[in-house]
Amino acid sequence: MNTPLPPQEIVERALSLSRAAHCDVIVDDTDTAWLRWAGDEVTANGASGTRRVTVISSGPGGGAAVSGTVDDPHRLEELVRASEAPTDAPAAGETAAAGSTAAPQPMRGDGAFESAELPEAAPARDRLSALIPELVRARGRSHGALHGFAQHRTGTAWLGTTAGVRRRHRLGTSTLELYTRTPDGARTAWAGAVADGFHGMDLPGLEAATTGRLRQPLPHRELPPGRYEVLLSPAAVADLMTAVYRAGGAADATEGRTVFARPGGGTRIGETLAALPLNLRSDPREPGLECRPFVLSHGAVSDAFGEAVQAGADPADNGMPLSATYWMKDGALTSLLASRADAARLGVPVRPAVGNLVLDGGTDRSLTEMIRSTRRALLISCLWYIRPTDVGTLTLTGLTRDGVHLVEDGRVTAYVNDFRFAESPVSLLSRAVEAGRTERAPARESGMHFPRTAMPPLRIPDFRFTARAPSAGS
Amino acid sequence: MGRATAHESSHASTHASSHGSLRAISPQFDHAEQRRVADAVLERARELGVQHAEFRAEHVRDASWRLRDARPAGASDTVTAGFSVRVLHEGARGFAARTAGGLDAAVGAVDEAVRAAEDAGLLGGRRIDLAPEPVYGERTWTSAYETDPFEVSGQERTALLGEYSARLLAAPGVRHTDAALQAVRECTFLADSAGNRILQQRVRVLPEFTAHTVDPATGTLVSLRSTAPSTGRGWEYLLGTGWDWDRELAELPALLAEKAAAPTVRPRTYDLVIDPTNLWLTLHETVGHATELDRALGHEASFAGTSFASPDAVGTLRYGSPAMNVTADRTAPHGLATIGYDAEAVAAQCWDLVSAGVLSGFQVDRAGASRAGLPRSNGCSFAGAFDREPLQRMPNVSLRPAPEGPDTAELISRVQDGLYVVGDGSWSIDTRRQNFQFTGQRFHRIRDGRLVGQVRDVAYQSTTTDFWHSLEAVGGPQTYLLCGAFHCGKGRPLQAAPAGHGTPAALFRQVNVLNSREEN
C-alpha cells in the first residue's frame, strides 16, 4: 500500500522533477458529503474524498495542463513528463492571436508556504450528519412534501511554481436547498442558501419560503405571454448577472464575439449600461462571500460539461493576488475580464476572474417593501434552463419556475402559470427602474457552479415573455 | 475502411474470443490491483451484513485541445482514477468514494458507506428494493473503435486540427476559426456481492470546427459550426471514418457567407424539415428525458424536473403522430450511451419508448424496476464519475426511420413554405419537458419544394406533444444519422453522462418560429 504524501511534498517533488521552462503544480484535496431526498425517498447519499494533482508546463516546444488523481508517488513523474510532451502549444499566457505580444513573465515568490495553520475543517460527513436531526424534524413538519439537497464540501488547494510562488487556500461550501410542491403538483416553491457551514443557515426561514409559502391559499390565474412589469427575486437576478459575468471576457469583446463589443471595433468599456447607479463587482474579501484571494487556474480548456472556462483565468497568473474589482460602477461598464496576457495584447487593465459577484447600489427596500408599492406586476421567484440565443446581444431564453405570483395593489393576489422569456440581462440593466436591498442569494440554476452571489430584487417595467409554459404539475 | 465492432468475452482476459478481437484494456488501468481491492471491500461488506454491495473502480482519461485561427490555444489532459463503494443496508443506500489510500482506505470506505446508509435510515421513508438480474460472472467488454485517440501523438493531432482550420481560414471572408476536440477513454471495473466481475472500456470523441465572419451591417461576428456529431469512435473519425470532413470543410465557408448575408426570419408558423444534426437534441430533451422513470416519480422534481409522461399512461398517452417510433438501446455501434453492462451489472438491452405515436416504455434502473413492478431493469444505471453515485441515466434514444421512407430532398419537396433546419444550437425546455425552444446552425428557406437561400435568427418553439403530433413523415434509412450529447447533466451532486441519439430527417407541419434576435 502507498502512504499518501503530504500535499506540500507533492508540490515540491513534482517541481523538482520538472524540466520545463516554467511549471505550476496544484494539489486539490476535496472532502464532500451530500444528502438528497424527494418526499419520503432518499435519492442520493454519500461522501467522497479526492485528491487531484495538476501539472502545467510551458516553454519552448510546448506543454500542457495535465492532471490526475495520483495516489502513487512514483506516478508523479509520469504526470510531469506528460505535461512536458511537445504539442506546439503556446506558453501559458501566450494567446494564439497573430502578432501577439510576448507572454508575461510568471508570477514570482519566495519559495515558501506561509507558516500559519489552515482553518480547521471537520470532516464533511460529520458536518452533514449533524444537520440530519433538523432535517428529520423539517420533513416531519412538511408531512412528506419536502424535497431537499444538503451538501458540504471542503476544498483545499496547494499551489507551487518553479518561479517560487507558494500559495494555499481552504474553502468550505455548505449548500442547503429546500423545495416543495402541493399534492397536485400545481404549485412549487424553492429556497436555497450557501455558507461555510450549516450552523449559520436559517432553516426555519428556508422552510417558511417553501412549505410555508405554499400553505397560503391563492387562486390560480392563467395569463397570456407578453410584456409585463416584473419584480425579479434576488435568486433570479443572480442567474441573469452570472450570465453577464460569464460573457465579460475582454478578448472575446475585442474580437466582436460578445455583447460588450463596440460596433466597428473595440469594447464598450465606459458606456453606461444601467439606468440606475448600480455596481456589479467582485471582491475575494466580501463579507459572507469570501473566496480564494489569488489566481488559481488549472489550465482547463473546458469544464466537465464542455462549457468554456471563465475568461480571465490564465495559469501564467497563478498566485497573483486578487482584489476588489468593479465590472460596472454607477451604471457604467468599467472593466472586462482580462488576464495579464490579454491586458498586454489588448491594452486593457489586468482584471482576473474572482469567485464571487455582487450587484448593489440600489435602495434599502426589501422585496416585500417593493411588493407593497406595486400596482400590478408579476413576482418571479426563479429562472431555469437559461440558454443564449444570440451572443451578440446576450439574448437569453429560459423559463420561470417555482412560483410566479400576481401582485395587485401591494398584495400578492394569485398564483400564475409559468412563462418562457426572451431577454438580454444587459438590456434589463438599462430598463430596470428600481433595485432593492442586496442580499446573499445563490442562483437557482448557475448557483451550483457559482454559488457566491449577492443580488437585489429588480423591478423591470416591460419584461418579455414569449410563451406560456405549464406550471410544475399542471 | 475497417469496420469496428463492440466485443465481449466471458472470461477475464483481453485475448481473442469467439466474438472477435477485443481491444486491449488500457495498461494505465491496473484492473488486477482493483480486483484485489474489490475482494477486500466485498469481504468487509459481508462482515457488516449489508444486503448488497458494489465496488466500482474507474480510470477515465479526458482531454481537450483547442486551436484559435489554426494555432494552439489550450490543451488539457486529465486522468480521473478512483473507486467507490455503494451498499444497500437495511433498505437504505450509502456511498463512499476515494482516489487514494490502498486497501485500508477501501475497507474504510465500506464503513463510511454503511454509516451513510444509517444516516439515510434516520430520515425514514421508503425502503429500496432491487429488481432481480442474472449474475454474469467474469465479463470483459470494449466498444467499437479502431484507434485509441490517446495513442496519437500531440504533433499529429495538432497538425490535423491545424490543417482543417487552415482550410477554413483560407476561404474568402472567413475572419477567425475555432477548432476543438475532446476525447474520452473510460475504463471501469465493477465487482458486486452477487458475483459479477465486469471490466469495460469505451472511447468517444467530440470534434468541432467553427468559422467566423463579420456581419457587414453590425460589425459583429457571424459564426457557423460543423455539424459532425460526437460519436463513440476513436481517432479514425477525424480521418474520415464515419464523417466526410473534406466535404463539410469545403462547404462551410460558402454556407457561412450565405448566412452572414441572409435576412432575419419573419416570426410566424412554418413547416419544418429538420435534419438529424438538429433533431437529435430535440429528441433528447423531449423524449429521452421525459421517459426517465425517476423524473416521472418526482425524484428530480427539485432540480432537473419531472415529466408530463407518467408510468400509468403507458399504452394510452398519444405522444405524437403514428410516424413516431422511438427506441431505447444500449447496443447501437458507436452510440455514446452504448455499453455492455450498466453500473448495476445489468446487461445492455433494447426496448421501445414510443410505438406508432403511443408511449410504450420508460427507462429504469433496478430500484426503479422494482418500484414499477417490472420483472427486470432495462439497464439504465450509470455514474458520471467514480465519485458519483449511479443514478438513472439515458441510453441511446433514437427515432426510427421509415423502412422505405423518402430522402431529405423529397421531404423538402413536400413543403410549400417552410424552413430546413440544420445543426444544433441552443436549447431550453421546461421542468415538465413540455414547452421548449431550440435554435440551430443554418436555416434554409423552402419555397415551393425548393431551397431558396438562408434566413437567420431562427428559434422554433412548441410543446412536446404538439410538436410530435405535427410530425408528418420521417425519412428513410438513407437519411438516418446517429448523433448525441457528450455532456448531459442530471442529479445532485451534478453529474455528466453521454447519450446517443439517432434520427432520420423529418417533416413537421406548422411549427411556431420566433426571431431570436428580436429587440428586447
Averaged over A427-448, what is the pLDDT?
A: 97
Averaged over A358-362, what is the pLDDT?
A: 98
Q: Is the CB of B100 less than 8 angstroms away from the CB of A386?
A: no
Report whether A474 contacts A219 (CB < 8 A). Answer: no
Report whether A361 contacts A435 (CB < 8 A). Answer: yes
Residues in B touching A132 (Cβ below 8 Å): 119, 122-123
Which residues between 34 and 63 in chain A have a beta carbon less than 8 angstroms from any beta carbon of chain B? 34-52, 62
pLDDT class for A322, splitting at 50, 70, 90?
A: very high
Q: Supply the DSSP string of A332-382, one letter for each residue.
A: EE---BB-HHHHHHHT---B---S-EEEE-S-S--HHHHHHT-SEEEEEEE
Is pLDDT above 80 for A93? no
Helix axes A76-84, A7-17, angle to 10 degrees: 50
Neighbours of A216 (CB within 10 A): 10
pLDDT class for A311, splitting at 50, 70, 90?
A: confident
**DSSP 8-state symbol, A258:** S
Instruction: State the best of A230, A395, A444 to mutate against chain B, taking most chain B CBs within 10 Å.
Output: A395
Residue A103's SS3 state is coil
Residues in B touching A256 (Cβ below 8 Å): 214, 219-221
Residue B299, chain A, CB below 8 Å: the answer is yes
What is the pLDDT, as a whole number, of residue B100?
A: 72
Report whether B429 contacts B287 (CB < 8 A). Answer: no
Sign of CA dihedral B327, B331, B337, B340: positive
Helix axes B102-123, B31-48, angle to 10 degrees: 40
Give me A429's grid cell.
440593466
Distance from CA of B114 to the nearest CA of A (A): 10
Give me A222's grid cell.
392563467
Per-10-residue mean pLDDT of chain B, 520 residues long, equals: 59 36 85 94 98 97 94 90 96 94 90 95 90 98 96 93 98 96 98 98 98 84 96 98 98 97 97 98 98 96 95 97 98 97 98 98 98 97 97 98 98 98 97 96 98 97 98 98 96 96 98 83
Residues in A touching B429 (Cβ below 8 Å): 385
What is the pLDDT, as a whole number, of residue B14?
A: 36
Q: Is the CB of A66 less than 8 angstroms away from the CB of B78?
A: yes
Nearest residue, CB atoms, A64 vs list B76, B93, B214: B76
Q: Is the CB of A40 less than 8 angstroms away from the CB of B126?
A: yes
Residues in B touching A134 (Cβ below 8 Å): none
Is pLDDT above 90 for A99? no
**DSSP 8-state symbol, A39:** T
What is the pLDDT, as a whole number, of residue A87?
A: 55
Is pLDDT above 90 for A459? yes
In this predicted model, which residue has the larger pLDDT, A355 or A255?
A: A355
Give me B20's grid cell.
472477435
Is pLDDT above 60 for A100? no
Residue B122, chain A, CB below 8 Å: the answer is yes
Residue B387, chain A, CB below 8 Å: the answer is yes
Distance from CA of A411 to the nearest CA of B (A): 27
Residue A139, chain B, CB below 8 Å: the answer is yes
Query: Across-strand partners of B181?
Result: B65, B207
Q: What is the average pLDDT value for chain B, to the nearest integer?
A: 94
Distance from CA of A452 to the nearest CA of B (A): 17
Q: Is the CB of B426 less than 8 angstroms away from the CB of A397?
A: yes
Residues in B touching A71 (Cβ below 8 Å): 81, 99-102
Contacts of B477 (CB under 8 A, 6+ apart): B401, B403, B405, B504
Each residue's pLDDT tens digit, A177-205: 999 998 888 899 999 999 999 998 999 99
Residues in A touching B308 (Cβ below 8 Å): 470
How do beta strands B268-274 and B417-429 pair? parallel
Residue A149, chain B, CB below 8 Å: the answer is yes
Residue B154, chain A, CB below 8 Å: the answer is yes
Report how far residue B187's alpha carbon sits from residue B62's, in angstroms, rounded to the nearest whole number: 11
Report whether A212 contacts A415 (CB < 8 A). Answer: no
Nearest residue, CB atoms, B120 vs list A39, A42, A67: A42
Which residue of chain B comes nearest to A304, CA vs CA? Answer: B496
Is pLDDT above 90 for A451? yes
pLDDT over 70, % of chain A: 94
What is the pLDDT, as a whole number, of residue A63?
A: 62
Contacts of B163 (CB under 8 A, 6+ apart): none
Which residue of chain B comes nearest to A43, CA vs CA? Answer: B299
Q: Is the CB of A34 less than 8 angstroms away from the CB of B493?
A: yes
Which residue of chain B comes nearest to A144, CA vs CA? Answer: B125
Report how far residue B257's alpha carbon sits from residue B172's, in angstroms, rounded to the nearest whole number: 9
On the question of a cis peptide bond just before residue A73, with omega within 30 degrees of 0, the verdict is no
Sign of CA dihedral B107, B109, B112, B114: negative
Report how far residue A124's alpha carbon sits from residue A109's, in angstroms, rounded to the nearest whole number: 32
Tell how far CA B225 is from the center of its chain: 19
Each residue's pLDDT tens digit, A270-309: 999 999 999 999 999 999 999 999 999 999 888 777 777 7
Each residue's pLDDT tens digit, B253-305: 999 999 999 999 999 999 999 999 999 999 999 999 999 999 999 999 999 99
Q: Where are the alpha helices (DSSP H) in B138-223?
A: 154-169
